[in-house]
Amino acid sequence: MQLSHEHREIQKTLKRFIDEEINPHVDAWEEAEIFPAHEVFGKLGDLGLLGLTKPEAFGGAGLDYSYGLAMAETLGHIRCGGVPMAIGVQTDMSTPALARFGSDELKRDFLAPSVAGRMVGCIGVSEPGAGSDVSGVKSTARKDGGDYVITGQKMWITNSLQADWMCMLVNTGEGPVHRNKSLIMVPLRDGPNGRLTKGVEVAQKIRKIGMNSSDTGLLYFDEVRVPQRNLIGQEGHGFLYQMQQFQEERMWASASSLVAMDECIRETIEWAQGRKMFGSTLADQQWVQFKLAELQTEVEALRALVWRTCELYVQGQDVLQLASMAKLKSGRLTRAVADTCLQFWGGMGFTWENRVSRLYRDGRLGSIGGGADEVMLGILAKTMGIAKRAVA
């Protein structure tokens, strides 16, 4: 896909912002195991970067999805995985269904302030008992008067220590598991870092081996009242909406991995060229040359797949298979790149603050989050006609 002058301008603006406002703070945020989402999102919102693909009526730029992916790719310049992931949750994981199926009132209340960067959002799908098997979520919303009353748990929720709202997948009926779920917008706090909504408890901040600058929480919901107008689209369509929303999440995840891998390989080349050994340098070893050349070839192949998927998506074609392939390959390739490069850094690769060891830790999530590798393989087995499709 050919990127236009506008794509390049957006990438330049974002790169400048990353260099000036994000990268100088990354080490401190990684150490603190959280970053100031409201502050960073406020600035990104001022630059118009949180709503590139969102409707103009709600503050967005109304551009096609290729602009969102151009942004995702550029986020790879951030020197950690946690901050890009948090931004991606806001732009491509928690808001696509709201933008596509939400009422104007809901979009005014939640989408417009999120595009402006005044609100931080999160996506609540996973639970302690259901991750890969999304149909197994147990949280419920029952109707009472004009409200939904929500009870349940959501686990692994990115941004949730700071988020103002959650786009939450809950059971709203007793029917078949793919048709009894709904997406509901749930206010979590009464303002930035304000008081939690009655019945919401942040039970735990989860400590992780990577993605440290991103806050990840376990949340309990005990009879939380939300007006019924907070339902996104139609009741019972939540599973379907979430599967569509996952598609953008998976394209986003693949695109955002590319530059991080480029930079990991480039910094490893620089390191290897300076590392003296056996009368020459590490980069003079043909094994090192060939391994790095091969990995960069694979990154370029993934880049081609990502942009081909994007081009077809923008044309309105079904990209379930290609997006799943890109997500699968991106998770596996990130692990291969980080592991191979870390090896070439020797002991230095085993230290905590090395960019390469950070990608090794952060990148490991790529094969687990947003649908594990095996979930992608399951989709591919079905779309390729190898495995039977479930009868819903």
Ligand X SMILES: Cc1cc2nc3c(=O)[nH]c(=O)nc-3n(C[C@H](O)[C@H](O)[C@H](O)COP(=O)(O)OP(=O)(O)OC[C@H]3O[C@@H](n4cnc5c(N)ncnc54)[C@H](O)[C@@H]3O)c2cc1C
Contact positions vs ligand X (CB under 6 A): 89, 122-126, 131-132, 156-158, 208, 211, 216, 365, 368-372, 374-375, 378
d(C-alpha 74, C-alpha 94), whole Å: 20
Task: State which residue, 305 or 368, has the beta carbon closest to ligand X.
Answer: 368
Q: Within 10 Å of residue 20's Cβ, how many Cβ atoms?
A: 10
Task: State which residue, 10 or 219, has the beta carbon closest to ligand X.
Answer: 219
Helix (H) or strand (E) holding 141: strand 140-144
Contact of 73 with 259, CB cutoff 8 Å = yes
Smallest distance from the beta carbon of 390 to ligand X, in angstroms? Answer: 12
Smallest distance from the beta carbon of 83 to ligand X, in angstroms? Answer: 13
Catalytic residue among 6, 127, 249, 298: 249
d(C-alpha 2, C-alpha 5), whole Å: 10
Q: Does the annotation count 249 as an active-site position?
A: yes
Task: State which residue, 61 or 240, has the beta carbon closest to ligand X.
Answer: 240
How far, in whole angstroms, is CA 165 from its chain's centroid? 16
d(C-alpha 108, C-alpha 116), whole Å: 11
Smallest distance from the beta carbon of 319 to ligand X, in angstroms? Answer: 20
The conformation of residue 83, written as its DSSP 8-state character, comes to: H
Task: State which residue, 11 or 158, has the beta carbon closest to ligand X.
Answer: 158
Cβ contacts of 6 within 8 Å, gap of 6 or more: 63, 67
Which residues in 228-368 belong to E strands, given as ranges?
A: 276-277, 280-281
Smallest distance from the beta carbon of 140 to ligand X, in angstroms? Answer: 16
Q: SS in 3 state form for 257-285? A: HHHHHHHHHHHHHHHHHHCEECCEEHHHC
Contact of 13 with 76, CB cutoff 8 Å = no
Task: State which residue, 52 or 123, has the beta carbon closest to ligand X.
Answer: 123
Structure tokens at 330: 């991106």
Task: State which residue, 212 or 268, has the beta carbon closest to ligand X.
Answer: 212
Helix (H) or strand (E) holding 122: strand 121-124
Task: State which residue, 126 or 309, has the beta carbon closest to ligand X.
Answer: 126
β-pair type (216-227, 200-205): antiparallel
Smallest distance from the beta carbon of 210 to ligand X, in angstroms? Answer: 8
Sign of CA dihedral 70, 157, 371, 321: negative
Contact of 33 with 207, CB cutoff 8 Å = yes
- Block residue for tokens 């499709």: 389
Contact of 216 with 362, CB cutoff 8 Å = no
Smallest distance from the beta carbon of 243 to ligand X, in angstroms? Answer: 13
Smallest distance from the beta carbon of 122 to ligand X, in angstroms? Answer: 6
Amino acid at the residue 111: L
Q: Within 10 Å of residue 226's Cβ, how many Cβ atoms?
A: 21
| Residues annotated catalytic, as ranges | 249
